[in-house]
Structures are given as C-alpha cells and as structure tokens.
Structure 1
Amino acid sequence: MSTAQRTGGGAARRRLRALTPRYVAGKVVGAAVLLLFVTIFNYFLFRVMPGDPAKTFAPRGRNDDPAALQAMRERMGQGKPWWEKFLLYLDNLAHGELEHSYSQHQPVVDAIAERFWPTVLLSGTALVLAAVIGMWLGARAGWRHGSRFDRATSATSLTWYSVPEWWLGLILIIVFASKSGLGLFPVSGMSDPRSDLPYWLDVAHHMVLPVTALTVVYIAQYTLVMRSSIIDERYADYLAAARAKGLRDDQVRNRHALRNALLPSLTQLFLSLGFVVSGAITIETVFSWPGLGLLSEQALSGPDYPLLEGVFLVFSAAVIVMNLIADLIYPLIDPRVRAA
C-alpha cells in the first residue's frame, strides 16, 4: 500500500470516528425536540388568525343564515374546548393523519400528496442548477479575488440577490409569455391538455420561466457564499505547502481549498433542500404552478386551518430533517466540527 493510500485511509477513519454515537444521538434528540415544539406552535399559531372559515366555506346562500353558520361551525369543531381540539390534533398526528380540508374537500394528507411532486420538480430543478452554477462561479471569483471576473461576478450576484423572485417572475411573463411580448412560453400552469407536445416536454416547456426566476436568485446566493469561503481559505498556510509541492493552481483550489470552503455552502444547500419541499410560494402563485406553495396561498385565503397546519408542518419538518442530515454529514467532511 502506498503512502498516499495510507494517508487517505487514515483521514477517512478520523472522519468516521468524529461521528460518534453520542454526537449522533444529541443531534437526533435536538431535532426531535424542535419538531415537537414546532408541532405545538403550529397548532396554536393558526388558531389566532382572524377570519371565520364557516362564513368563507359555507355554501352559497347560507353564509347569511345564522343557524346554518352555527351548524357548520359545529361540524368544523369550533364549538369544542381548545384543549379537546388540541388533543384530537395530537392523536391524529400520532396515527399519521390530519384533518379534512375545508377548501379542497378532501383529507389534508391527500391534498398535500397531490401537490408534493410538482413542487419538488420545480424547486428541485432550480436548486440543482443554482448550486452547480453558483458554487462554480463563486469558487472561480474568490480564487481570482480582485480580478475583472471577480468584480463582474460579485456585482451581478449582489444585484440579483436583491431582486424579489416574484418580481423577476412577472418581468419574465411580460417579456417572454404575454401576447404583447415574445409569447414563447406558457403564462401559467404545469401542462396544457390541448398541447400536441409529449407530456414530459409540455411540462418542461411550462417550467422554463418559473425555474429561471428561481435559479437566477439562488445562483446569486450560492455565488456570494462560496466566494467568501474561498477568499477566507485562499492564503492559508496549507495551500502554500500544496503549491510548494508543485501542484498547479487549479489543483490547489480543487483538491485542497474547496474542501474546507465547502461547509458554508453545504449548510446553505441543505437548508435549501428543506425549502424545496415548501417550494416558492410567490413563484408558484405568480405562475399558478400546482404545488405546495400555491396550495399554501389558497389555504391562507380561507383561512383553511387544517390545510394550513398540514402544509406548514410539512415545511417545518423538511427543514428540520435536512438540518439534521447536514449536522451528521459535517464531521465526515471536517472532523473539527465535532471537536467544536
């Protein structure tokens, strides 16, 4: 076995040793406690919202009938004590169930399941494109700190970082989708049943504008974070030693600097993965994309308490789980995380 192989194997073993059972258990317990807190907070948060769901969702002609409204409030459980409704909420969660949606006229679990994959498809595609392009741009800009490429990349990223996603989406619709514009892409929806294109190609055609709006803003975030991390590592002593061994500049960056500069970007990546499930509410609303973001907007207009509780619980759980995975992966990349 060569010296390089022995060194690489020793580094791998040190990283695995950093992931001790105590460390893992601490992170898992912390995530579970946080999820429990979010679950309880989630229930009471939507109970203090203004609005009368019974009036909103009552059949036409009955929202002015006091007897009909009272009967509907009782069917919605509004007359029960808060503690009884809260215990029922916890019991449903323990059995993997949620209540019935007022606005969607179906169980909340079914409503969320129908909108889950469209959201993952839209936000996941934008995230993958943004992470790859943004980290590549940030690494090159930070490594060439002060160059023309760095100044142009930083200025462009700061500009796009400050742009609201929904505003960019509206501009893209006006320019590329409206009749007064180029009219190259659909204005809204996920597919068109009248289209002659294959289904997957029709969906891809509908995805172009919303994915572009999300990707441009996400790229700016990844670029700025990676650039800052590379600049912090650029003049480290271990990189000078790598250069002294005769490695080319690109090899020093790719083999040594990127690994230590990756942790902040990895944090952002896993946070973004959590938000992939929640989607971009504003973008899905602007483009009428049938995902969880649009479902949240529809639930807020009610307010549809059971649906709101369900979607925001899914959003919170996704972020907590992705943070947990990130915490467990950190020591495998850099054992100093465990020591800290």
Structure 2
Amino acid sequence: MKGTLGRIVRIFVTCSIKIISLLFAVSIISFVLVTVSPIDPVQQYILGLGTAISPEKRAQIEDYWGVNEPPVERYFTWLTELLRGNLGESAIYRRPVADIIGERFVNSFALMFCAWLFSGVIGFALGCIMGMYRGKLPDKILKKVCYILSSVPMFWLGLLFLLIFAVWLRWFPIGFSSPVGVLSENVTLWQKIHHLILPAFTLSLMSFANIALHTRQKLVDVMNSEYVLFAKARGEGQWTILRRHGLRNILLPALTLQFASFAELFGGSVMAENVFSYPGLGSAVSAAGLQGDVPLLLGVTLFSAMFVCVGNMIANLLYGVVDPQIREVGE
C-alpha cells in the first residue's frame, strides 16, 4: 500500500513539473505565432465597433494594448499578469477572459465527456463483437465501417448528420445548446440533453473506431492463447470465455487508449462546436482566431493544453491503481 501511494506521489510530482514546463513552452510558441500573424488585432477591434475612429483614438488603443512595444517586453508583461491570475480582457466579448473560459468550458466539458463515454462504450462493445466473430460476416462489416469512419472528415460527418437527423427527420435541433428564444433559467435538463446528443455522438465517432479495432486485435490475441484453448477443451462456451478470461485482459489496453484520446477529442470539439453552433471553447477560440482576439486566443490555448495534460496525469495515476505492475519508463 505504501509502495503504491509513494509511486502515485512520484507520478504526481513528475507530471506537475512536466505540465508547468509544457505550459511555459506553449505560452512562448502561442505568443510568437500570434505576433507574426497577419491579422491586426487593433483593426479587428475597430471593425467590431462598427464606427470609424480618429487616428488619435487608434493610437490610444494601441498604447493601451501595448502593440507598439517590443514583442519580448509584451510577452513578459502578459506573463506577469498571467501569474497574477489575470488573463486579460476579450476584445470580442468585452469581458474578462477567465469568465468566458469558465462559462464556455461547462458546455465543452459536457460535450467532450459525453463523446468520450460514447466512444469508449461503443468502441469497446464493437471491438468485442468483432473479436468474437473474427473472420465472419459481422467482423467484416464492422471493420469496414470503422475504416470508413476513421477516414471521413468530422465536419463533413457533422453536416451529414445535421441534414439527415435535424433537417429531414427532425429528431434533433439544428444547433445551439438550448432552444432559441428561451431564457437560460427556463431551459430544462431534457432540452439541454436533446441539443447535446447529436454533436456528442458525431464527436465520439472520431475515436471509437480506433478503440474498436484495437480491442478486436487484443481479443483475437487472447482467444488464440493457450489458456483459452485449454478453457475450450474443458467445454467452456465462447461468451463464458470472454467474460472470465477476455475482458480482464483487454480492458486495461482499451482504457489506456481511451484516455489517450483526450487531445483528439479537444481538437475535434472545435470543429463540432462550429458545425453545430454549440457555444463552447471551440467556437470561442475560432472566433478569437478569425477576429484577432489575442487575450482570448492565448487564454483558451493555455487552458486547453492544461486540460489535456491534467487528463493524461489522471490516466497515469489510474493505471497505477488498476495495475500496480505498470511502471513509468526510467523509474
């Protein structure tokens, strides 16, 4: 017990150092990319006002934002404010970046969590079915479906689902996270879930095929092992062997791959939220990039990197709890 606890503490400290180093590197790279971007944030801000301003007023805005200062000085000014907990103010929404991230992350987290569950459950179940019927018709059909979904662009699939399920069949709304014209306090839980199902299912199709194919191959290896052949010789049924011997050997690899899909889901949520007009971090960062909202763009970039890193750290800690024999490389 003490050994497992000590290992968890070591993993936590090591991952924390890695996260801090990675966030520092991400902040530098993001700031450099924003600096060399051809989009003029001051001009985009002026266009957002909808009125013409004098050159003197523009100069005041430039001085207030510090765009005329050297890039290195601007970076350390921004980094100093970041360490104080100040992410700046969004030029698009005219609100603190931290408040926008806090509000939008709730919607994005609900979307990604549902998609994460869908991809894990569906992928693992289909992988088991393909492994049990390897070489037969169900296995061949499901493998082709997985290959097709792995190669289809997510935004095209989202548009196709919108056309079929929202426009033609009218089973789901076209977009947004709640009905149009309804106050947020009047939106019911079922209405939120109804708006969430289609984008979450579309996003889950990004990673479920990899989990299904990986689970299938692991199950095939297990079913060809000597102890499974011995179980068959004793008269155990196919599904009994899966329950007694197969699941325990393929569950941890599937869990590993499932946690590794955090970054993929976060990147896919940007496209899903734009296709379905879902108000999350993905749509916010797209608007920030197109309109030159530097504080919001940098804030969301850092937050997304931290979210993925923390998810991977939690996965490492869970591996140690599920299987104490797992060791970090170099430990």
Q: TM-score range by the shorter chain?
A: 0.7 to 0.9
Amino acid at match of 2:72: W
Amino acid at match of 1:187: I
Q: Does the alignment pair 1:62 with 2:52?
A: yes
Q: Does the alignment pair 1:333 with 2:322?
A: yes
Match of 1:47 among 35, 38, 54: 35
Match of 2:176 among 179, 189, 192: 189
Aligned counterparts, 1:229-240, within 5 A: 229-240=218-229
Aligned counterparts, 1:67-146, within 5 A: 67-146=56-135
Amino acid at match of 1:29: I
Amino acid at match of 1:70: A
Superposed CA RMSD: 2.9
What residue is the counterpart of 1:280 in the other structure? 269
Kept in 2, the 8 Å contact 1:27–1:327? The answer is no
Amino acid at match of 2:65: M
Q: Deviations over 1:56-109 (max 9, x none)?
A: 11133336x433322222221202222222222222222222011111110100
Q: Distance in 1 between matches of 2:5 and 2:218?
A: 26
Match of 1:32 among 6, 20, 23: 20
Q: Distance in 2 between matches of 1:222 and 1:151?
A: 16
Gaps of 5+ in 1: 1-12
Change (3 A) 1:182 1:23: closer
Amino acid at match of 2:127: G
Scaled by the length of structure 2, the TM-score of the pair is 0.86
Q: Deviations over 1:225-282 (max 9, x none)?
A: 2222223333234544665677543343334333333344223322334555666111
What residue is the counterpart of 1:205 in the other structure? 194
- Determine what percentage of the aligned residue pairs are the same residue: 31
Q: Deviations over 1:155-193 (max 9, x none)?
A: 111111212121111112222323xx3334322211125
What residue is the counterpart of 1:169 in the other structure? 158
* SS at 2:165 equivalent: helix
Change (3 A) 1:300 1:158: same
Q: Distance in 1 between matches of 2:3 and 2:254?
A: 19
Aligned counterparts, 1:231-270, within 5 A: 231-240=220-229, 248-270=237-259
CA apart distance, 1:53: 0.8
Q: Distance in 2 between matches of 1:333 and 1:239?
A: 23
Change (3 A) 1:162 1:70: same
Kept in 1, the 8 Å contact 2:12–2:313? The answer is no
* SS at 2:172 equivalent: coil
Q: Once superposed, which parts of structure 1, at least 4 consecutive aligned residues long, lie more than 6 Å away?
A: none
What residue is the counterpart of 1:222 in the other structure? 211
Aligned counterparts, 1:142-153, within 5 A: 142-153=131-142
Q: How many residues align?
A: 325
CA apart distance, 1:23: 5.0
Identify which range, 121-130 or 211-220, moves more after superposition. 211-220
Identify which range, 259-268 or 195-204, moves more after superposition. 195-204
Change (3 A) 1:66 1:17: closer
Gaps of 5+ in 2: none
Change (3 A) 1:166 1:294: same
Kept in 2, the 8 Å contact 1:130–1:216? The answer is yes
Q: Does the alignment pair 1:155 with 2:144?
A: yes
